[in-house]
Homo-oligomer: A and B are copies of this chain.
Amino acid sequence: MASIKDVAHHAGVSVATVSRVLNDHPSVRANTRDRVLTAVADLGYRPNAVARSLRTDQTRTLGLVISDVLNPFFTELARSVEDEARALGYSVVIGNADERPDLQDHHVRTLMDRRIDGLLVSPTDGGSPLMLDAARSGTPMVFVDRWIRGVDVPVVRTDGRGAVRDLVAHLCALGHRRLAIIAGPAATTTGRERVEAFRSALREFGLALPADHIGQGDFQADSGRRMTARFLDLPEPPDVIFAADNLMALGAMDEIRARGLRVPDDVALAAFDDIPWFVHTDPPITAIAQPTGELGRAAVRALIDRVEGRTTDSVILSARLVTRRSCGEPEGSKP
């Protein structure tokens, strides 16, 4: 592969001059510039980004550690992050934590070793020592979707409180009284917040959330299946299962179907996070939709602000309820 030296030689100038034209430095004579550009084209020269990064101490790369690539919510988030970053002149490298703190740490470490300019994380846990170090190390960082308490890092997330309340109102209006939730890990903010929002909405409607109606999932499909089995084995099973993400809703569907039960007749089902397939499931699934694209874009803007030395605030967007048939006939239909 041709190096800057080859180009310099070919153009009959010094490497400094080649570097200048490559970086659009104004003080290069037009004629010199043309000679260099010709040499670049002739040799098919491409600057070595590794060498440039070492020298300039910047990689123009952002790291993104997501909780689970198999979760369409995160995949859509990753997409919008990459789009916005590219528009602003940055690349992004993604690490998939697969909901495992150890894997998350692995990726944070690898990314920092590569000297990425900034780190976007949706933490799978409450903050490992490594993660805390990273946050304090001076590498610009922003949390997206999930965050860690007690760390001075901006957060870009969705507040699902209102939508969860709307969901509970919807469920009560349909006559449901025994509501259960499959929660995410208590170590994650969204794991905790969604249960809390659910609990306080229930309270508002005069309902309780007994311990055996809280299933401890891990945001992945299998746990949704296991928790659903546990609920359905209860002497008095719940009327409704609310899955705190779409993967656990998938697991719930698997279990319900395996038992030959029907949604919503035997159990109603609702999910946090909306995905295109929810329109086509049997029945279509009521879900809480996040403004995922905007979330990703806002997170990138916040991170790049930090990277480039500007200040940023946290941003909180809001989710909305999308009601479909999985909890019973929607308002306005025949009973």
Contact = CB atoms under 8 A, between A and B. Distances in A.
A158 to B, nearest CB: 20
Contact of A70 (B44, B48, B76, B86): B76
Interface in A77-116: 78-79, 82, 86, 91, 93-94, 96, 98, 106, 109-110, 112-115
Contacts of A211: none
Contacts of A53: 50
Contacts of A280: 250, 253-254, 257, 277, 281-282
Contacts of A115: 48-50
B70 A59 contact: no
Interface in A115-135: 115, 133
**Which secondary structure characterizes the binding site on chain A?**
helix
Contacts of A79: 69-70, 96, 98
Interface in A145-186: none
Contacts of A70: 72, 75-76, 79
A234 interface: no
A1 to B, nearest CB: 7
A54 interface: yes
A327 interface: no
A46 interface: yes
B49 A51 contact: no
A283 interface: yes
Nearest to A48: B115
A197 to B, nearest CB: 26
A276 B221 contact: yes
A31 interface: no
Contacts of A69: 75, 78-79, 82
A137 interface: yes
A23 B276 CA distance: 49
A12 interface: no
A69 B94 CA distance: 12
B48 A133 contact: no
Interface string A46-70: 1111110110000100000000011
A68 to B, nearest CB: 9
Interface in A239-260: 250, 253-254, 257
Given A50-B50, A93-B94, 15 more contacts: A46-B112, A48-B115, A49-B115, A50-B54, A50-B115, A69-B78, A70-B75, A72-B72, A94-B94, A250-B276, A250-B280, A254-B280, A257-B279, A277-B281, A281-B281
User: Ordered nearest first, which 5 A-B pairs have the shortest CB separation?
Assistant: A282-B282, A49-B113, A277-B277, A93-B93, A280-B281
5 contacts: A46-B109, A70-B76, A91-B110, A257-B280, A277-B280
